[in-house]
Amino acid sequence: MNPQLGAALAAEEAAIYAYGVIGVNLNSRGDETEARMAEQAHRVRRDYLVARMAQLKASAAPSPAGYDLPFPVTDRASALKLAVQVEDGVAQSWRPVLGVTTGADRGTALAAMTEAAVRATRWRRLAEVTPVTLPFPGRPA
């Protein structure tokens, strides 16, 4: 379970970083609220993973100070595109946790994956990307 939790933690930390970049490139109150709520949700998941891994005495790789963005983020369109990509990536990172956990741990992983998938759908709608859903959220494309 530890490598999977470690991967989910890395994805959550990357998401927190990415929302910093996304936030400054959004320009409407609605978008910004959305981004702030998403970032907060990722912080909660990050804290859960740090605590759970400490319980399991699992070591996590230190998070990098910065990340290479997959493309330049300079405006709303590219910010929304990054938000979609980040949430899809977070969902993908939680999916392998499902198979290595049971009970409450699996429930948490499923909730984290589902919430990321729902946020990806919200960002797609804001970005006017269709379709707004994926048939198998979390499954690598």
Q: Where does this chain bind other proteins (CB under 8 A)?
A: 91, 95-96, 98-100, 103, 106-107, 109-110, 113-114, 117-118, 120-122, 125, 130-139
- Write down the least CB distance from residue 74 to other proteins, Å: 28
* Among 70, 69, 73, 79, residue whose Cα is nearest residue 39: 79
- Write down the least CB distance from residue 125 to other proteins, Å: 7
| Interacting residues of 91 by C-beta distance below 8 A, sequence separation 6+ | 113, 116, 117, 120, 137, 138
- Write down the least CB distance from residue 38 to other proteins, Å: 13
Q: Of 10 and 113, which CB lies nearer to other proteins in the complex structure?
A: 113
Asked if 129 and 85 count as a contact pair (C-beta separation under 8 A), the reply is: no
